[in-house]
Structure 1
Amino acid sequence: MKHIQIIMPEVKHCTAKSCGFNRDSGCHARAITVGNPEAPGCDTFFAVADTSEHAKSTGRTSGVGACKVSECRFNEDYECMAGEVTLAYSKNQAHCQTYLHR
């Protein structure tokens, strides 16, 4: 398998404990996608009922692969340019707390 190395902002902390990629408040997806054009939610979030279903690959830390929120100050050509991001869980959804309106 061919691997591509890319530099992207780290998901520093995530409180979405029911997400399948969350283990010990860390995101362990390869990369996440943030939002739709109106809201900075984590589109990679998916809920799991049982903690045994959480990500087993805890040796990696997730990055932000894409951001679809064009009104965010850190968005450049649909890529996040923040140094790192934090995600918080509310109303059954993970939201990007690093979002800043232009």
Structure 2
Amino acid sequence: MVGTVRRNKPELPPALVSKADRARFSSKFAFTETHALVSYLPKKQKNVLLMSTLHRDAAVSDRDDKKPKIIEDYNHNKGGVDNLDKVTSVYTCKRMTARWPLV
């Protein structure tokens, strides 16, 4: 649906979405009273967007990749959500079907 406006989601600032004329490992931040948005370019044509209600500053790491603190905190705490090996080993994927094809 190109050109449609979604009224239930706020629009992101074009400066955060744009990848043109941005250096690798650059970060752009936007703040409101309750939220912080960050746009980070780990590669030339890849834009990582994150929103946080916890962070209030534009802190970046001292490493070579200069990751924002928001991304480092997300990566540190995401283990309980993204660990799919435990979920697939506990639950089965088999399904019984009662399909009766019509002649």
Task: Point out the structure with the larger strand share.
Answer: 1
Choose between structure 1 and 2: higher helix proportion: 2
Q: Same fold (TM over 0.5)?
A: no
Quick check: which has more Rg, 1 or 2? 2
